Amino acid sequence: MKCTRCREPAEVKVRAHNSAFCRECYVLFFERRVLRAIEHEKMFRKEERILVAISGGKDSLALWDVLSCQGYTTVGFHLALGIGGYSSRSLDVTRRFAESRGLELRVHALADEGLAVPDMMKATRRPACAACGTAKRHYFDAAALEFSCDVIATGHNLDDEAARLLGNVLHWQTDHLARQRPVMQPRHEKFVRKVKPLFLTSEYETASYAFLRGLQYVVEECPNAAGATQLTYKAMLDQLESTSPGTKLSFVREFVARGAAAFERPEGEGPGGTCSGCGMPSFGTLCSFCSLRAEVDRKLRSGAATRGDGASR
């Protein structure tokens, strides 16, 4: 197979675009697609400070690589989830990437507050991903505020968005459909906009980019992801994609361009109060993260009390 651009031997075939590329041309192709998405959706401008949420996987590191190489001002933010070896390896590759490029990296470890994901899961009996998602939302918002960033960028890719869209459509989650956009505007002055610059690049494309750029990333999955419904949707979409290439891309792109408007509704009021736990905007006296934290604390205290009883007997 030859490169569509320069006729050298190709390393990547992008079926959705009916093209194949050699290493250099592919890197160019990928960068251009990401930059076009940023411009087309008006995600951010060159003078803004971007908080890039870095998990240590291929997508977030590929995103950080593109943005920093293109001269954007970035602050990497890694939330260490405390999920055993998976989390320590993720922190490791993230640190090494930042150091090798001289990029600013901020790390917050949930375990430092006794809130490692497995501990939250045990204490609250909530699914790991629910607790984890609440913590991520909270710390991304808080980090953007603390490090004076104008926007939060995450590594969600085309397959993530297509799987989520499929799930939302299958259950006609109209409120979720109203909020599935590549750019989410903030609903409070302490919040910033959230963007997904990779929403039109597939996992295969980001993985190929990461490999061809020599990025070391964590290939393994979070152990809690196994069996997630989202993986079933991804497998279905991959089947469709293999018989008609471009399906995922048009599903997501055309939803954003033509479908999403149908679900739009006047934005409800943003949070009117302030969380008494962390000072972030909140609907009630405690934000959802601080209520989660309170729940964990209560369980741990009552657990300690029970153990105390046992010892005194």
Partner 1 sequence: MKVRLTPQGRELDVDGVKIVGDLLRRFSVVPGTVLVIRGDRLLTEDTALREDDDIELRSVVSGG
The answer to whether residue 11 forms part of the interface with partner 1 (CB under 8 A) is yes
Q: 25 is in the binding site of which of partner 1, ligand SF4, Zn ion, none (Cβ under 5 to 8 A by kind)?
A: Zn ion
Task: List the beta strands (DSSP E) in the chain.
Answer: 12-14, 19-21, 49-53, 73-80, 105-109, 151-153, 183-184, 193-195, 273-274, 281-282
The answer to whether residue 239 forms part of the interface with partner 1 (CB under 8 A) is yes
Determine contact, residues 267/277, Cβ cutoff 8 Å.
Answer: no
The answer to whether residue 238 forms part of the interface with partner 1 (CB under 8 A) is yes
Which one of the spans 211-219, 235-243, 246-254, 283-291 is the region binding Zn ion (CB under 5 A)? 283-291
Other CB atoms within a 10 A radius of the CB of residue 302 amount to 11
The rounded distance, in Å, linking the Cα atoms of 80 and 21 is 36
The answer to whether residue 224 forms part of the interface with ligand SF4 (CB under 6 A) is yes
The rounded distance, in Å, linking the Cα atoms of 223 and 81 is 12
Amino acid identity of residue 13, one-letter, is K
Please, what is the minimum distance in Å from the beta carbon of residue 60 to Zn ion? 25
Contacting ligand SF4 within 72-91 (CB under 6 A): 81
The rounded distance, in Å, linking the Cα atoms of 257 and 254 is 5
| Residues facing residue 50 across a β-bridge | 74, 151
Please, what is the minimum distance in Å from the beta carbon of residue 161 to ligand SF4? 16
The answer to whether residue 161 forms part of the interface with partner 1 (CB under 8 A) is no
Q: 95 is in the binding site of which of Zn ion, partner 1, ligand SF4, none (Cβ under 5 to 8 A by kind)?
A: none
The answer to whether the Cα torsion of 251, 163, 219, 217 is positive or negative is positive
Please, what is the minimum distance in Å from the beta carbon of residue 61 to partner 1? 12
76 vs 155, which CB is nearer to partner 1?
155
Please, what is the minimum distance in Å from the beta carbon of residue 272 to partner 1? 32
The rounded distance, in Å, linking the Cα atoms of 30 and 44 is 18
**Number of chain positions touching partner 1 (CB under 8 A):** 37
Q: Contacting partner 1 (CB under 8 A), which of 78, 138, 234, 293?
A: 234
Q: 117 is in the binding site of which of ligand SF4, Zn ion, partner 1, none (Cβ under 5 to 8 A by kind)?
A: ligand SF4
**Phi, psi of 165, rounded to the nearest 5 degrees:** -65, -45
Q: What is the DSSP string of 197-217?
A: TTTTS-HHHHHHHHHHTT---
Binding site for ligand SF4 (CB under 6 A): 81, 117, 128-129, 132-133, 222, 224-225
Binding site for partner 1 (CB under 8 A): 1, 10-13, 15, 20, 57-59, 129, 159-160, 202-204, 206-208, 211-212, 219-222, 224-226, 228, 230-231, 234-235, 238-239, 241-242
